[in-house]
Structure 1
Amino acid sequence: MTQLDKTSLLSISLASLLVVNTAAADDMMTTYQLAVEQDPVYQAAVNTYDAEKATLGIARSALLPFLGANAGTRKTDQKVTSADNIPGVDGEADYNIDDWAVSFNQTLFDVPAWQGYKKAKYNVDKAGYDFRTAQQELIFRVASIYGQALVAKENLRVSDAEKKALAEQLELDQERLNVGLGTVTNLYATESRYQLAVTNVVESDFALRDALQALKELTGQMPGDLRQIAEDKPPLDPPEPDSVDYWLQTSLQNNLEFQSASSTVEIADREISRVKGQHWPTLDVVASHSNVDSDGSLTGSGRLTEGTDVGLRLDIPLIQGWGVVAGTDEARSRYQVSLQNQEGVRRNIDRTSRSSYQAVKSGISRLIALRAAVKAGLST
């Protein structure tokens, strides 16, 4: 669906939700609010968006400092049976050793981690576009299903009224036949129409029940009495500005599906850089402080040892089994896939925008003609 389609439908849907008589507004708006809270499709979109936003923090963590600590205690039981050239060191010794250490690590240069963070940002952007699409789709679904329920309710009312009228007509035809004023042919014709009306009532009742179940599927509960939307005449203004090229450009700029496809292209591009970055070395600042406390030894005396280390660690990948090369080829192919998908979306927007633009204009012309015909019919 193009942005021209969605803008028009969104306006109509919001008008259906808001610009109606007070009772109907409460009823349809309540349905929408319940759908926001209860619709499984929309709630899945909400949680998907939240999950994608969380991945940004995960990717960022690879660039932030790491601080860790560990501690331990152990009991040592030593027995020396022979110690050449070390006089006095023999026999047995039992003692405890307690130790703890703190370590620190800060990445200075890590291409895969940095590109992974950029990729995560585009993932969040894409998730945002998809979530906004889900919001729009919920409005469309509520307005559409609610409208279908109203139509089904009206059809049932009309069918029931027709059934009652034909029942009266059938009774009248039977009486006329009994007194010799009617014919069997007329009676059978009326009976046939009555049976058809009964069928229409059954079908209309089923359609209404199904529409109500569709509303329950959205909201998680059966709706109450459905109230008719106010019969306000919609404005018949043409698209402004009246230029198909303008609406095509607007669709490309604002269409959520196209924006999502564009984000997918950026994600695939970042993935190429991330995989290729595995050829590059990584550089980290590392530091640690340790403490080892021993309450004994073979010589009988305890010892407390503390140490602090600070330095740089450079890791250089040399041979990786051609995995990075193969991964890069895969990422490049997936990038081409995303480009083709984006182009497909763009072409679809081009076609449907032009078609929708012409449909809006022709629809306005047709509605103007129909209103004129109704006015002429009422004046005769």
Structure 2
Amino acid sequence: MTFCANTAIKRALTIAFISCLAPSALSDTLVDIYEIALENDAQLKAEVAQYKADLELKTLAKAPLLPQVRMGAARSLNDSESTRLTITQFEDGQVQIDDVTNGSKTETNSYDISLSQTLFDLSAWFNWKAGSDQTKQAEATLAAAQQNLIVRVSEAYFGVLRAQDNLRAAKAQERALARQLEQTRQRFNVGLIAITDVYEAEARHDLAGVTRIVEENNVAVAQERLSVVTGQSHGQLYELGDDFTPEAPMPADRAAWVDFALANNYQLTAIRHAEEAARKNARSRDMARYPTVSATYRYSEDERSGRVTPPTAFNLPPRSDGNNESIQIRFDLPLYSGGAISANKRRSYEQYNVVRENRINLTRNTVTTARSLHMTVMSDVARVKARGQAIKSSQSALDATVAGYEVGTRNIVDVLNAQNLVFAAQRDYANSRYDYVINSMRLKENAGTLSPDDILALERFLQAPEPATASEDG
């Protein structure tokens, strides 16, 4: 008996110990999620692959300006045979007609090597310059994708925390309304209140149950969105601590953030390089009507051998070998190509206009986004502070309403409304903190200053989730 009792106690203590460690040991931090996303995010992987592909554009554009070396070899075999009638007249006047077969087998081996170099080609030169700009565009596009991953990770991570906070608030509200419903029924049973108060409490409790169901679904959806970024499922996440205090963006000057965005926004940088590449491509098409000059050196060797049947003094077996060396300077000037040169020129300049107008539009949007996000973050700072105060004031109002209800000066509707205000204030406070975090990330992304250091800065305010109590699970 003693052994069994001790074993049961040890098992219970072990389970309790593991339960205490589980939230921390099995929880992911924001840095954990970001590192997993760096490895698994399909969108970023696609951007990296596109970046590597675009890096080759510079080499491809430069290739026509570099020497072109080609080597070739050929071997041919020729076997021929023919039969003809031959008339032979002898001295005695007799004539003999014979079938004579002639044949030959010839083997030819040849080798050649050539070196070509473009001496003058303005079209190819502008293509090369455009390729350099396209490479710079690829670098800026990848940097923008890397910054966007930080934003997407933060949105998904704090989206889960937001949904979990809303679910906790919904469960707490449902429990509070359940207690209020029980108290209302007891007061009705002793004749202190009318049945309408019971109906009102039941209706509010039922609506709270619906809200809880909705929030449970929102948590599941948020977790699925997080798994899209990381490619795997996650358990609990570290939560934003109460010591996190929103601060106004630095510098506080809105115009400074506009300047940051115009100078550092990676999407804007990418489209500027795209515009320059399009301009040079258009120049390249324009230069297609100009002459080109190229030089070519060629060296070749060939060897020919074989046999003939029947061999005669006048029909010797083929045998020869030789080599050839040549240098060519070639001048080409397109005189007429069916209108293709002019059409390509017009088309490429219109394509340049497309990119230029897109750059103008993106510049305007970048400026507007910088201003609006700065205003939003400043507003978020004030909203977090105001909503924190709203929790205190709504709780005081609830306490006063409950006291009035106890003495008969307030009714059940007043109490239920006051309770709703408390839980709404709690939800709004949590949501405003997450809004501040996400909007701050977006502001820095738009300004081109967002980096993994911002993830590390947030990590300091995250704490391991507390184990759920039995009442919260219910």
TM class by shorter chain equals 0.7 to 0.9
CA shift, 1:376, in A, is 9.8
Match of 2:74 in 1: 72
Residue 49 and residue 253 in structure 1: after superposition, are their counterparts in 2 closer, same or farther (change >3 A)? same
2:288 to 278, 297, 311: 278
Q: Is the 8 A contact 2:28 2:236 kept in 1?
A: no
CA shift, 1:324, in A, is 0.8
CA RMSD of aligned residues (A): 3.1
Residue 197 and residue 370 in structure 1: after superposition, are their counterparts in 2 closer, same or farther (change >3 A)? closer
Code of the residue aligned with 1:105 in structure 2: it is: S
Q: Is the 8 A contact 1:96 1:294 kept in 2?
A: yes
Aligned-partner Cα distance in 2 for 1:185–1:368:
39
Match of 1:8 in 2: none
Code of the residue aligned with 1:129 in structure 2: it is: A
Residue 37 and residue 53 in structure 1: after superposition, are their counterparts in 2 closer, same or farther (change >3 A)? same
Q: Is the 8 A contact 2:275 2:359 kept in 1?
A: yes
Residue by residue, what CA displacement relative to the aligned partner does 1:241-262 show, whole Å, maximum 9, x if unpaired? x544443333211122222221
Match of 1:7 in 2: none
Residue 149 and residue 325 in structure 1: after superposition, are their counterparts in 2 closer, same or farther (change >3 A)? same
Which secondary structure does the structure 1 equivalent of 2:232 belong to? coil
Aligned-partner Cα distance in 2 for 1:368–1:201:
27
Aligned-partner Cα distance in 1 for 2:157–2:360:
35
Match of 2:239 in 1: 228
User: Which deviates further from its counterpart, 341-350 or 116-125?
Assistant: 341-350
Aligned-partner Cα distance in 1 for 2:385–2:268:
34
Aligned-partner Cα distance in 2 for 1:372–1:151:
20
Residue 344 and residue 132 in structure 1: after superposition, are their counterparts in 2 closer, same or farther (change >3 A)? same
Match of 2:208 in 1: 197
Residue 276 and residue 219 in structure 1: after superposition, are their counterparts in 2 closer, same or farther (change >3 A)? same
Residue by residue, what CA displacement relative to the aligned partner does 1:286-306 show, whole Å, maximum 9, x if unpaired? 122212111137531411122
Match of 2:136 in 1: 125
Code of the residue aligned with 1:210 in structure 2: it is: V
Residue by residue, what CA displacement relative to the aligned partner does 1:51-77 show, whole Å, maximum 9, x if unpaired? 111222222222222222222221123
Map residues 35-74 of structure 1 onto 2, 5 A cutoff: 35-74=37-76
CA shift, 1:166, in A, is 2.7
1:353 to 370, 373, 386: 370
Code of the residue aligned with 2:57 in structure 1: it is: T
Residue by residue, what CA displacement relative to the aligned partner does 1:266-295 show, whole Å, maximum 9, x if unpaired? 111111111112112222221222121111
Which secondary structure does the structure 1 equivalent of 2:278 belong to? helix
Residue 371 and residue 174 in structure 1: after superposition, are their counterparts in 2 closer, same or farther (change >3 A)? closer
Superposition TM-score, scaled by structure 1 size: 0.81
Match of 2:155 in 1: 144
Aligned-partner Cα distance in 1 for 2:206–2:395:
33
Task: State whether structure 2 residue 298 is matched by structure 1 residue 296.
Answer: no
Which secondary structure does the structure 1 equivalent of 2:171 belong to? helix
CA shift, 1:308, in A, is 2.0
Which secondary structure does the structure 1 equivalent of 2:161 belong to? helix
Residue by residue, what CA displacement relative to the aligned partner does 1:292-323 show, whole Å, maximum 9, x if unpaired? 11113753141112222233222222221221
Residue 120 and residue 204 in structure 1: after superposition, are their counterparts in 2 closer, same or farther (change >3 A)? same
Map residues 111-260 of structure 1 onto 2, 5 A cutoff: 111-234=122-245, 236-237=247-248, 239-240=250-251, 243-260=253-270
Match of 1:33 in 2: 35
Which secondary structure does the structure 2 equivalent of 1:216 belong to? helix
- Where structure 1 has 5 or more consecutive residues not aligned to the other structure, the ranges are 1-21, 83-89
CA shift, 1:80, in A, is 8.2
Code of the residue aligned with 1:308 in structure 2: it is: E
Q: Is the 8 A contact 1:38 1:220 kept in 2?
A: yes
Q: Is the 8 A contact 1:291 1:307 kept in 2?
A: yes
Residue 178 and residue 31 in structure 1: after superposition, are their counterparts in 2 closer, same or farther (change >3 A)? same
Aligned-partner Cα distance in 1 for 2:374–2:265:
15
Aligned-partner Cα distance in 2 for 1:171–1:296:
114
- Where structure 2 has 5 or more consecutive residues not aligned to the other structure, the ranges are 1-23, 85-100, 308-314, 397-474
Residue 199 and residue 371 in structure 1: after superposition, are their counterparts in 2 closer, same or farther (change >3 A)? closer
Aligned-partner Cα distance in 1 for 2:255–2:168:
46
Which secondary structure does the structure 1 equivalent of 2:117 belong to? strand
Q: Is the 8 A contact 1:296 1:303 kept in 2?
A: no
Residue 264 and residue 245 in structure 1: after superposition, are their counterparts in 2 closer, same or farther (change >3 A)? same
Q: Is the 8 A contact 2:28 2:235 kept in 1?
A: no
| Number of residue pairs the alignment of both structures matches | 350
Residue by residue, what CA displacement relative to the aligned partner does 1:335-376 show, whole Å, maximum 9, x if unpaired? 222222222222233334344444455555666667788899
CA shift, 1:173, in A, is 3.6
Residue by residue, what CA displacement relative to the aligned partner does 1:134-178 show, whole Å, maximum 9, x if unpaired? 111111111112111101111112222222333343344444444
Task: State whether structure 2 residue 340 is matched by structure 1 residue 323.
Answer: yes
Task: State whether structure 2 residue 349 is matched by structure 1 residue 332.
Answer: yes
Aligned-partner Cα distance in 2 for 1:375–1:329:
68
Map residues 364-379 of structure 1 onto 2, 5 A cutoff: 364=381
2:277 to 267, 284, 287: 267
Code of the residue aligned with 1:323 in structure 2: it is: A
Code of the residue aligned with 2:258 in structure 1: it is: L
